[in-house]
Structure 1
């Protein structure tokens, strides 16, 4: 394997790894599941990195892979994460400790978001990341109009959950 591919992946991943942490925060409710999902997202990103064409920004591609990984893993009725062994990978990714002090303010919101269906979770997450409806539609593979309609419905659901 070429060193430059590995180096490029590491640089891109380390610069954007908070995306994976945030997705893990939305799709998991404890640290163990968070770590398992983070590992699985990392593996999927690495496995699919050779397919990254650069048509979109790395962060947009990362959102798509990470969200698809989280959604597919958490749709299973057992809600357990099956991870792959990463020990055969010849390099280590420097993990930055996830600082959740700011997240404490949003605890109720995250809890409410976890109560949404998988697509609504992804929509709300991308919206909270200040992504445009165009970027949201590209990431999720839906039309921009559909993204707007679904987002308005998701906002209404969150209001009902947070203000019963």
Structure 2
């Protein structure tokens, strides 16, 4: 295995791990599932990394892999997420700690987002990350116009969930 490739990957993953944590928060309900999904996304990112050509930003590519992994696993098992065993490597990634107060403030929003379907969740996630509609459309594989229309519908749906 190429140590330089591994080093670059770990560095980029550490720099962008918030992306993975946020995806995990949207698609899981407890810490154990969050950790399992984080591990599975990391594995899928590592498997796909040698094919990353740099045609898009690393973060955009990472969003796409993370969301596709989460959606695929979520659809396979609505309640529990199974992870792959990887005994051939162990990434040592410095985990960032999150402020519990901020987590509590976001709890209501995340609860509302969890009521959305998989694509709507991904759309909201990318929108909240201040991604442009162009980036959102590239990440989700839809047109920019479609991303705008869907986002307007999701905003209305969230308003109805939060203010019944």
Deviation at 1:29, TM superposition (A): 1.0
Residue 7 of structure 2 is aligned to residue 7 of structure 1: yes
Secondary structure, aligned partner of 2:83: coil
Residue 126 of structure 2 is aligned to residue 126 of structure 1: yes
Deviation at 1:100, TM superposition (A): 4.2
Give the 3 Å change call, closer, same or farther, for CA 163–78 of structure 1 in structure 2. closer
Give the 3 Å change call, closer, same or farther, for CA 27–116 of structure 1 in structure 2. same
> Does structure 2 conserve the Cα–Cα contact (< 8 Å) formed by 1:124 and 1:151?
yes
Q: Distance in 2 between matches of 1:97 and 1:105?
A: 16
Give the 3 Å change call, closer, same or farther, for CA 91–124 of structure 1 in structure 2. closer
Structure 1: stretches of 5+ with no match in the other structure: none
Report the equivalent of 2:115.
115
Give the 3 Å change call, closer, same or farther, for CA 91–136 of structure 1 in structure 2. closer
For the aligned residue pairs, the C-alpha RMSD in angstroms reads: 1.3
Report the equivalent of 2:32.
32
Give the 3 Å change call, closer, same or farther, for CA 100–86 of structure 1 in structure 2. farther
| TM-score, normalised by the number of residues in structure 1 | 0.95
Deviation at 1:113, TM superposition (A): 0.1
Give the 3 Å change call, closer, same or farther, for CA 90–107 of structure 1 in structure 2. closer
Report the equivalent of 1:75.
75
Moved over 2 A (4+): 76-79, 90-101
> Does structure 2 conserve the Cα–Cα contact (< 8 Å) formed by 1:73 and 1:79?
no
Q: Distance in 1 between matches of 2:6 and 2:101?
A: 32
> Does structure 2 conserve the Cα–Cα contact (< 8 Å) formed by 1:136 and 1:144?
yes
Report the equivalent of 1:135.
135
- Deviation string 1:74-133 (CA, Å, 9 cap, x unpaired) is 112443211111332054333333444312112111000000000000000000000000
Q: Distance in 2 between matches of 1:153 and 1:30?
A: 28
